[in-house]
Amino acid sequence: MSSRTAVDSEGSWFEPEQVSELRRRLPIPYVDIVPVRTDVDGSVEEVGLLLRASGSGRIVRAIVSGRVLVHETIREAIARHIDKDLGPMAMPRIPVSPVPFTVAEYFPTPGVSPFHDPRQHAISLAYVVPIDGETAPQEDALELAWYGVDELLAESSPLEEMDGGRDLLIRRALAHVGAA
């Protein structure tokens, strides 16, 4: 993270009640990150999924995700959320100019799009990011598990434990990298 971000984004978000009000009135920018492990040729071998409590109190599989802060580049937001969820030794390979593999629009009303977030309308840029270092669940994540591509694409898969359409996001990510 650059020193500019550390200074400018400090305190750049709102109090919880202000965030709730803004979520009711404005689309919020997010990044969704699908962490992957690759072989020496760069082919995706595994996908990292978190286990955490959802807003409704259910335990679900999740991806690395979060808001983009004021004065923060997309690349800085990706790095910050990977560090926050996977730990400081994750060693992500984030491109200098990241390009999303898709844009996911989460709506509070089910059925408007395949993506749903009951709290808000969020516009999320989605990225596949190779991880080279050591990872461990951080903050509110209960577990981090790495799943092989075949395991994720099987009939009974950990993707069934995801909510809000994030299973579709993983399938799109695997198709994007030629693994599906």
Q: What is the pLDDT of residues 123-171, one digit of tens each?
A: 999 999 999 999 998 888 899 999 999 999 998 899 999 999 999 999 9
pLDDT value of residue 13: 65
pTM: 0.88
Query: Could you tell me if 36 and 47 are in contact, meaning their C-beta atoms sit under 8 angstroms apart?
Result: yes
Cross-strand partners of 126:
32, 102
| CA–CA separation, 162 and 148 (whole Å) | 16
> Can you give the pLDDT at residue 1?
45
Is it the case that residue 4 has pLDDT exceeding 80? Answer: no
pLDDT band for 40, please (50, 70, 90 cuts). Answer: very high
Return phi, psi of residue 118, to 5°. Answer: -65, -15
Count of Cβ atoms closer than 10 Å to residue 95 Cβ: 10
Mind listing the pLDDT tens digit for each residue in 66-109?
A: 999 988 999 999 999 999 999 999 999 999 999 999 999 999 99
Residue 7 has pLDDT above 60, yes or no: no
Q: What confidence tier does 55 reach under pLDDT thresholds 50, 70, 90?
A: confident
In angstroms, the CA 174 to CA 180 distance is 5
Q: 41-52 pLDDT, tens per residue? A: 999 999 999 999
**Could you tell me which of 133, 134, 168 has the C-alpha nearest to residue 152?**
168
Question: 102: closest CA among 168, 159, 149?
Answer: 168
pLDDT of amino acid 12: 56
Q: Is the pLDDT of residue 2 over 50?
A: no
* Residue 11: predicted pLDDT: 52
Output the CA angle 51-17-105, nearest 5 degrees: 55
